[in-house]
Amino acid sequence: MIDIHSHILPGVDDGASAMEDAVNMARLALDEGITKIIATPHHQNGMYFNKKQDILKRVKELNNVLQSENISLEVLPGQETRIYGSLLDDFEKGDILTLNHTNYLFVELPSGHVPRYTEQLLFEMQLKGVTPIIVHPERNAEVLKNPEKLLSLVKKGALTQLTAGSLTGHFGKKVQKFSLQLIEANSTHFIASDAHNTSTRNFHMRESISKVHKEFGSQVVYYFQENAELLVQDQSVYRQEPSKIKCKKFLGIF
Ligand SMILES: [Fe+2]
C-alpha cells in the first residue's frame, strides 16, 4: 500500500522530531502494510518553510538510514503547501515540490475558511499542467458548513484527499460522517494517513480501509489504493463526476 501524505521527515515540522522518531514511524508504517510513503512536510503554513531542494536532500538522508536499518519502506519526496497568493510564482522559482516529481501537487487550505482566490489559483495551476490535490477538506470549517464550495472546486478539476483518521472517527463524529458523505458523493480521490508520530497522530490506514470496506465494499477500497499507485507513477487517476442526487442528499444533511 502507498501512503501519499505523511510528516515522517525528521526535524522539519510538527511531525517526527528526530531521526529515531522517523525510524519508529517507518516501522509502524510497515506494520500497517505501507511499502511506499510520500514525505510531505508543511510549507508556508505560517510556522514551517520547507523548500523543494531541502526536502529532496532530507528524503535521501532518511532513505539511507532506513536502508542501513534494513527497513524496507521507500520514502518518496513531496510537500504540503498551504495555499498563498504567490504560490505559482514560487513554483516557477523552483521552491515548490510536487508529489514524487509528478504533476500532482498538495494544496492545504487554512483550517477555518476557503480563501476567495482559491478557485482562480487552482485554475491557473491547472493551466500550467499541475493538478491540485486539496488535502483533508473534511477538516476545513467552511467546507463542513458549505460543502458546495468543495464540490465546485472538484467539478473544476481539483482532486481531494481524506485523512484516514477522519474516517475512523479520530477527528470526531461530524468529521467522520462528512468524510463518508464525500466518498458517497464521488468527491474524494485519495485516503492517506497524514501521520505525524506513532502516538496521537499515527497512521490508521488499515482501520480506515476496514471502515471503507464495511461501508462501500471492496471496489471502493480498490479505487483508493489504485489511485495512490497511479499518482506516484504520474498517471491519470480515476475520478467520477460528483453525482447530483447524491450531492443533494449529502448537502441536505448540513
Ligand atoms: Fe499534513
How far does residue 249's CA lie from ligand 1's centre (Å)?
A: 29
How far does residue 134's CA lie from ligand 1's centre (Å)?
A: 11
Cα separation of 57 and 9, whole Å?
Answer: 11
Burial class of residue 71 (count of CB atoms within 10 Å of its CB; 0-12, 13-18, 19+): middle
pLDDT of residue 241: 84
pLDDT of residue 243: 67
176-223 pLDDT per residue, tens: 999 999 999 999 999 999 999 999 999 999 999 999 999 999 999 999
pLDDT of residue 250: 46
Q: What φ, ψ does residue 243 adopt, rounded to 5°?
A: -75, 130
How far does residue 26's CA lie from ligand 1's centre (Å)?
A: 16
Length of the chain: 254
How far does residue 245's CA lie from ligand 1's centre (Å)?
A: 32
How far does residue 211's CA lie from ligand 1's centre (Å)?
A: 21
pLDDT of residue 253: 43
Amino acid at 76: L
What is the chain's pLDDT, residue by residue, as a tens digit (254 residues)?
Answer: 999 999 999 999 999 999 999 999 999 999 999 999 999 999 999 999 999 999 999 999 999 999 999 999 999 999 999 999 999 999 999 999 999 999 999 999 999 999 999 999 999 999 999 999 999 999 999 999 999 999 999 999 999 999 999 999 999 999 999 999 999 999 999 999 999 999 999 999 999 999 999 999 999 999 999 999 999 999 999 998 886 434 444 444 43
- Closest CA relative to residue 138, chosen from 99, 184, 207: 184
How far does residue 42's CA lie from ligand 1's centre (Å)?
A: 7
How far does residue 38's CA lie from ligand 1's centre (Å)?
A: 11
Q: How much is the CA Rg of the chain, to the nearest whole Å?
A: 17
**HSE-CB of 115 using CA atoms within 13 angstroms:** 14
* β-pair type (42-43, 74-77): unpaired
How far does residue 101's CA lie from ligand 1's centre (Å)?
A: 18
How far does residue 163's CA lie from ligand 1's centre (Å)?
A: 9
How far does residue 40's CA lie from ligand 1's centre (Å)?
A: 7
For the record, the C-alpha cell of 246 comes out as 447524491
Query: Which domains, from first to last, does the chain contain?
Result: 2-252 (3.20.20.140)
pLDDT of residue 242: 82
- Residues 163, 73, 65, CA angle at the centre, nearest 5°? 120
> For residue 206, how far is the Cα from the chain centroid?
16
Cα separation of 138 and 192, whole Å?
Answer: 13
